[in-house]
Structure 1
């Protein structure tokens, strides 16, 4: 989909607490830290909950507001300069009021459109797409945020060591965090131009690769799984979909593979990222990844990667960011150029 050119003026991130290494997480789950490293390759992650006491230290709104405030401060803009806020998450604090509205309130925003997108790994780039459209409709600047607090699905009362591998993997893949970006209609701040954005549903006739359920008062005693993941299907389909997505983004931007200086690959886990990057065959591009240090933070991940990208991106350099959501198979990709 083509839009008027938009620019990333600045980014901000928020990761709660100290990093939790595999030894600490393995002890809490009664599994070996070696298994975690071999199976997913993540070394640390952050949780908004203290694993020892169960205390909730940060809500999703806390993390998103922190990331948003950081991005806004770095952009040089004021809250009153923003024309919209878009927040993407799969784990809102509540169904209502939306986390997006809570974050807008904390940031001092008023009398502007506020959107919340319910999405998984693709949500951050969906938020960028909506933000770009709003800039094209006349907004001068806006804030997009992606974040998740996956600890709410981490049940430390269960004997995780007895779980089947396809269930246990959900306990070790994820982490909590938020990322944000200020979008502008004119180049300012970091001045990274959006040269192409792909967002495509690719799940026609496919079984979901991931399921996150929710319960109300009437069905809270249901035995439906609250979280399920078909890791084998993800291993099979995501690398191939990432290759398709790369060529879609390059075609939209009018670039050749050799034009790409930085690659931001999908971030399910370090092991999966390694397999995907090998399939993408961009050996001259610098990989920008963070999943080894942060775990899979869902909607935060693409913005955490873009934040890292901006610290090392020189004028004229180009980057491609890719995200594949396995819930019902959604592909999102972004072409970026430092101007």
Structure 2
């Protein structure tokens, strides 16, 4: 293909890995703990199970984001047949770091035995994983660093750290209650390379655009320091109605832009990885995007919950075994914080 001017060329998707904390928590278990109707969750949210890094009964932290990201990255490297000595840089995307400093990215690199290479951490929501893929592609375009062929890209979130399990959930308005049933925890990673080899697929394009000019944020996640930690301000607020209105529209814009940029006829798409907000929202968005075409949807959110920056990697893990010879796929991620559109393209290796 002729590569668009100013854009980075394709890179090899050499390996993928994911990590979820503990056993899945179904709607019946969530109903018992929170005192809300499982039918409400199933009807309006459409998420069957999710995973939590915290124990729902005692609130004990069982896994940190560092733990989950380390496990996912380790599996991605193993899937690529690589090790820590092959890694030229690390890019990690999250909205929920374990601490402001040191970065989770640096701690994960240390756990993996990676040293003396650049380590980046991107602070973003669901679009952060695509931002990380775009940055890694650009870094790889500069050539191997010190003979190291692999760029390690990680995304993950531990959303349960922001949930107050001590309150009476029956008193919460739906706008706050939705955060307790929508989100889950997890991490994912890919090993990228520009070296020719037995790559499972090619990352052809990764793009993102800020689209929030003059528009109120759709989601806000607070950080409380020593001076303001006793505030009554909710840790997470979300304008779910704005999300329901805007995300389908923005998803179509991303799909159209990617197809136009790549010069791909829509009929050549084999798979689409739609935004993973919730089971019901993903179903609605997918219906709008399909427009009579026969591509296959690749989704995970109904089983994993919305685990933020991990979602793209869970979708990629499901996509790769299905991507036949000559297969093409487009992925879309929309972040409601300040309305960020992002998307990426994957092709089967020849």
TM-score range, shorter chain: over 0.9
- Counterpart of 1:63 in structure 2 is 68
Map 1:264-303 to 2 at 5 A: 264-281=273-290, 283-303=293-313
Say whether residues 1:145 and 2:154 are aligned partners.
yes
For residue 68 of structure 1, report the CA deviation from its aligned partner: 0.1
Q: Secondary structure at the match of 2:306?
A: coil
How many angstroms apart in 2 are the aligned matches of 1:290 and 1:90?
19
* TM-score (structure 1 length as normaliser): 0.98
8 A contact 2:9–2:141 mirrored in 1: yes
2:30 alignment partner in structure 1: 25
- Choose the corresponding residue for 2:129, options 124, 131, 154: 124
Which residues of structure 1 form unaligned runs of 5+? none
Matching of residue 169 in structure 1 with residue 175 in structure 2: no
In structure 1, distance between residues paired with 2:49 and 2:198: 31
Task: Using the TM superposition, give the Cα deviation of residue 39 of structure 1 relative to its aligned residue in structure 2, in angstroms.
Answer: 1.2
> Does the aligned pair in 2 maintain the 1:266–1:323 contact within 8 Å?
yes
2:201 equivalent to 1:192: yes
| Structure 1 residues 259-309: Cα deviation after superposition (integer angstroms, max 9, x where no partner) | 110110000001000110011125311110000000000000011101110
What is the deviation of 1:222? 2.2
SS in 2 for 1:84: strand
CA distance in 2, matches of 1:40, 1:161: 17
> Residue 220 of structure 1: CA displacement?
1.5
Q: CA–CA distance in 2 between the matches of 1:157 and 1:78? A: 43
C-alpha distance in 2, partners of 1:102/1:337? 32
Which residue in 2 is equivalent to 1:35?
A: 40
| TM-score, structure 2 normalization | 0.95
* Local SS of the residue matching 2:88: coil
1:195-253 superposed Cα distances (whole Å, 9 cap, x missing partner): 22221000000000000011111121223221100000000000000000001111121
Alpha-carbon shift at residue 56 of structure 1 (Å): 1.3
Name the SS of the counterpart of 1:172 in structure 2.
helix
Name the CA distance, whole Å, in 1 between partners of 2:227 and 2:184.
Answer: 30
| Contact 2:276-2:299 within 8 A present in 1 as well | yes
Distance 2:71 2:121 in 1: 17
2:3 maps to what in 1? none
Q: Is the 8 A contact 2:131 2:207 kept in 1?
A: no
Instruction: Look up the match of 2:255.
Output: 246
- Correspondence list, 1:300-339, <5 A: 300-339=310-349
1: distance between equivalents of 2:196 and 2:321? 17
Please give the alpha-carbon distance, in whole angstroms, between the structure 2 residues aligned to 1:299 and 1:209: 17
Q: Given that residues 45 and 182 in structure 2 are in contact (C-alpha distance below 8 angstroms), is that contact kept between their aligned partners in structure 1?
A: yes
Q: Distance in 1 between matches of 2:176 and 2:254?
A: 28
* Contact 1:16/1:48, CA 8 A, preserved across alignment: yes
